[in-house]
Amino acid sequence: MKRLTVLGSTGSIGQSTLDVVAGNRDRFKVVALAAGRNIDILEKQIQAFSPELVAVADEATAAALRSRTKGPDILSGAGGMEQVASYSGSDFVISSIVGSAGLMPTLAAIRAGKTVGLANKEALVVAGGIVRSEAKKHNVKIIPVDSEHSAVFQCLEGQNREDIRRIILTASGGPFFNKKRGDLKNVTAKDALNHPNWSMGKKITIDSATLMNKGLEVIEACWLFDMAPEGVDVLIHPQSIVHSMVEFRDRSLLAQMSVPDMRGPISYALSYPGRISDPIPGLDLDRIETLTFTKPDHESFPCLSYAYDAIRAGGTMPCVLNASNEIAVHAFLDGRIGFSDIPLIIKKTMDRHSVGSASELGEVLEADIWARETAKNYIKELKA
């Protein structure tokens, strides 16, 4: 039986993971959970899965949870998250904490020798070189959980690395597919959160609307599959049936297809190299009228271009891209800036950054702090 830790258990990926586990209790045992401050959901997860160790965002949240439940040890703060991530009783860690906050717990899991199911793309965006180096040092396998990278991972099984010509990541296009820049000036957070195909957390949904999510996935793909940015393309595929493709040097394509349901890639990561029976509904190809693919509109959605710029610049620039995006997205969700201000804040912050090497964790963390403060200052200027 595989013993699991779920980081970000109350988020959409975490909840989907536990849904898969609930249907396969003969194969998986949840031994540790980490979450933020949503103790209503976390309390129910503790009751349902009886973990041995739990961590939450801060001590006040931990105290509130301790008063409501008995059983597991409940830790708090960044240290608690890292203790859960490296828990000796676990074999496999699902890393699904949203944003750069997932970096240190992911590194803790890797350094403890755990197999990692990676749903936290920001860990590779922010510190891809460090994460890969640590994984190699500790002989840790990283299995992608994002639907696109899981698709590529599956397509590459049994293939020769030298035969790969390019990777093609698909994107739904989000709620504003076919919209032009002028159409986006007055969109609200409610508009941007109305994703047509996927049920995700607020931050990721906004990233999908700006196409930044796909940009972050391009950077993640470069690190996961050892590809230059020129070898990773993006196509808008509104149906979200083809999750990604790989083109080989003989110009043949392999694609991975399924209904858009995150339980699919999650179950594949959990059971790899095997598969779980029926974690998602089947795909009725005879009922699908069309599958369409178009090139992304970089002018109306420049965040995707900025991600390519960042990975080409290398060093600390992807970290700055991610940090400024996180600040801008939260400001938009709080109603402090407009939707079209998000790429503006990111671009201004990137333009001001002097790229560092990102070979040491301290450099990355320093760049992250700098980018957040710089982005906040630009937001203040917009409001002035």
Rounded alpha-carbon distances, angstroms, from residue 80 to 26, 35, 105, 123: 29, 10, 9, 18
Q: Does domain 2-145 have CATH number 3.40.50.720?
A: yes
- Residue 221's Cα: distance from chain center in Å? 11
pLDDT level of residue 384 (50, 70, 90 thresholds): low
Range 130-146 average pLDDT: 97
Question: For the CA atoms of 340, 238, 153, 207, what is the dihedral angle to 10 degrees?
Answer: 20
Q: What pLDDT band is residue 295 in, cutting at 50, 70 and 90?
A: very high
pLDDT exceeds 80 at position 25:
yes
pLDDT of amino acid 182 = 86
Please tell me the distance from the alpha carbon of residue 294 to that of residue 12, in angstroms, as a whole number.
28
Percent of the chain surpassing pLDDT 90: 88
**How many beta carbons lie within 10 A of that of residue 359, not counting itself?**
14
For the segment 42-89, what is each residue's pLDDT rounded down to a tens digit? 999 999 999 999 999 999 999 999 999 988 999 999 999 999 999 999
Report domain extents, the chain: 2-145, 147-181+202-258+269-297
Give the Å distances, CA to CA, from 206 to 189, 199, 210, 266, 340: 8, 12, 6, 22, 12
Output the CA torsion sign for 237, 243, 247, 251: negative
Q: pLDDT of 312-353, one tens digit each?
A: 999 999 999 999 999 999 999 999 999 999 999 999 999 999
**What pairs with residue 27 in β-bridges?**
none
89 within 8 A of 114, measured Cβ to Cβ:
no
Average pLDDT of span 98-102 = 88
| Cα 295 from Cα 35, distance rounded (Å) | 37
For residue range 248-286, list pLDDT tens digits in order: 999 999 999 999 999 999 999 999 999 999 999 999 988
Is it true that the peptide bond before 273 is cis, omega within 30 degrees of 0? Answer: yes
- DSSP letters spanning 32-58: EEE-SS-HHHHHHHHHHH--SEEEESS
Once rounded to an integer, what is the mean pLDDT over residues 223-228? Answer: 97
Report the alpha-carbon distance of residue 341 to residue 311 in Å, rounded.
Answer: 22
String of b and e for 112-148 (b: at least 16 CB within 10 Å)?
A: bebbbbbbbbbbbbbbbbbbbebbeeeebebbbbbbb
pLDDT reported for residue 78: 95
First to last CA, the chain: 58
- Cα(215)–Cα(229) distance, rounded to whole angstroms? 11
pLDDT at 172: 92
